[in-house]
Amino acid sequence: MLSFLPSLMLAQVVTAPLPPIQAEYITQPQEIRPLPGQLNDVPVFNSNSPEVVVGDGILLSTYPQEGKYDPRAHLNKPLNGRFDFFSHHIARPFDSRLLYQGVLVSNPSNRFVRVKILQGASYLTSPDAPFVELPSLVEDPKGQVFSGPGSRLMSSILRGKSQTSFPSQIIIGPGQTRLLFTLPIPRSNARSTYLRLESDGPVYMANLAMQAIQELPETIASAKEQKPTPPKLRPPSQADWEALLVRGRLATPRDKAPTPPEQIQRSAYSRPIYGRVAGISLGSEWKGALLDRPGTNVLSIPSRGQSFSYPLSTLDVGTHGTSQIQSAPMLARYPDTAYLANGNYGVHYQLDLPLYNGTKSRQSVSLSLQTPLKQDQYKDRLFFLSNPNGQVFFRGTVKVSYQDDQGQVQDRYFHITQRQGQMGSPLIMLNLEPGEKRHVSLDFLYPPDATPPQVITVKTEELYYGGLLRR
């Protein structure tokens, strides 16, 4: 029997024919619809390759190639106006020195340029956000529930939080360079960072990695003192970062090179390597109104006992029969990195569901986020595992806004942890009267260290529950 194999951070995704339906598999007959909406046109400085950093090197540079020791490390792509910054890297340096991440921003114009940091946050695995076992669904009104730096980062950005360690703005003189930040990444730690930025002129940006600088020991003043002086270590200065930008190489070792898109087949034995992202992707938000059809203003709930779903963060393989690929295109990239921003890490999904009960009876309707088994063959069913106990495929926070059955406006946050093939529990349950329309919105930023796709599912329950199951 062929099985579904998990993938970690999209380094490689495997798809296989659906196995014969046996006791461990649950088939859920239902309609699967393409997700309405589209990505916006905000560029994202998107740095995730190489994911594991072992020493000094250039992770991602949009600077011109002229005058650089390693021209292939520079993409010659200026940024201007609204753009975002996302990075996720793990430190495993060759020696015991602390690894640092530094970001340079340069102004190539002949006038001053202002770069505003509209929002920014950055977290380490330890001590900020260790990976911990959590229940599959936890309500989290204060942002105190997370597992891993990607989970905590997306929760903070979703809630509009910004760390005070980032400046509110930097002003760069004509032809000058500023250091946006230097942050440590201790050994075996991951650091996830997201910034929302806005400039009033073109800038170049580089994300660099460097170990602590070892200074020469001081000269021994007395011949009687023969004890060796231990070397002093310090964080890299702006001058150190600028020297690395000019004289450094593209960071190595490189991740696996991706399969060219034209070679990816949706056949039973397709094994594409998506690669990791390093470049400028196009799209920081996906906004969509989930409607019966274009031109209408309602989303009619399904018949009692029925449901329909919309896939989220789909890739070339695993579209659940919709053939919809949501991955952001790349405006610039290194040749050995991903052709698309697979997984849409950090993309803010904002979905509006104007639920409408067009029946003549009161109905109970639930909204769920689910992680079905990945497949491309069917758009009239989902497949789950009766005992999902494998790899975690999603750990992150979603916000649900709606008017409850008492007419009160609710903004609720839930942290979700789901494994491959997990059906998931309802986030909310609403009771709709005949002819009633109720707006629900779902917001989340797709978290790093997750494996897409997921689906959002609307279900009309078999029975009308009154207020008994109201959360």
**Helix, strand, coil percent values for the chain (each to nearest 5):** 5, 40, 55
Within a domain: 300 = yes
Q: What is the structure's pLDDT at 226?
A: 63
**Domain end residue (candidates: 190, 223, 247):** 247
What pLDDT, in 10s, does the model give residues 56-77?
Answer: 999 999 999 999 999 999 999 9
CA distance 376 to 378: 6
Residues 6+ apart with CB under 8 A from 410: 400, 401, 402, 403, 404
What pLDDT, in 10s, does the model give residues 307-354?
Answer: 999 999 999 888 999 999 999 999 999 999 999 999 999 999 999 999
Within a domain: 328 = yes
Within a domain: 470 = no
Q: What is the structure's pLDDT at 463?
A: 78
Within a domain: 255 = no
* 370: β partners: 455
Give the pairing type, strands 307-312 and 454-460. antiparallel
Structure tokens at 187: 């050994």
Domain limits for position 148: 50-247
Please tell me the total count of domains within the chain: 2
CA distance 53 to 187: 10
**317 and 202 part of one domain:** no
What pLDDT, in 10s, does the model give residues 137-159?
Answer: 999 999 999 999 999 999 999 99
Specify the residue for token string 């979603």: 398
Q: Which band of pLDDT confidence, cut at 50, 70 and 90, is reported for residue 227?
A: low
Question: In this prediction, what percent of the chain has a pLDDT beyond 90?
Answer: 83
**432 and 367 part of one domain:** yes
**291 and 435 part of one domain:** yes
Q: Is 252 left (phi over 0), alpha (psi -120 to 50) or beta?
A: beta
CA distance 11 to 276: 6
Within a domain: 45 = no
* Whether residue 91 has pLDDT greater than 60: yes
The model's pTM: 0.90
**348 and 242 part of one domain:** no
What pLDDT, in 10s, does the model give residues 2-53?
Answer: 333 333 334 333 344 444 444 588 999 999 999 999 999 999 999 999 999 9
**207 and 316 part of one domain:** no
Q: Which band of pLDDT confidence, cut at 50, 70 and 90, is reported for residue 269?
A: very low
* Whether residue 230 has pLDDT greater than 80: no
**453 and 335 part of one domain:** yes
**291 and 400 part of one domain:** yes
**63 and 30 part of one domain:** no
CA distance 115 to 79: 11
**59 and 31 part of one domain:** no
* Residue 392 near residue 418, CB atoms below 8 Å: yes
Within a domain: 131 = yes
**363 and 220 part of one domain:** no
**128 and 146 part of one domain:** yes
Within a domain: 435 = yes
Within a domain: 1 = no
**Domain end residue (candidates: 232, 247, 262):** 247
* Residue 413 near residue 157, CB atoms below 8 Å: no
**56 and 32 part of one domain:** no
Q: What is the structure's pLDDT at 278?
A: 98
Q: What is the structure's pLDDT at 263?
A: 86
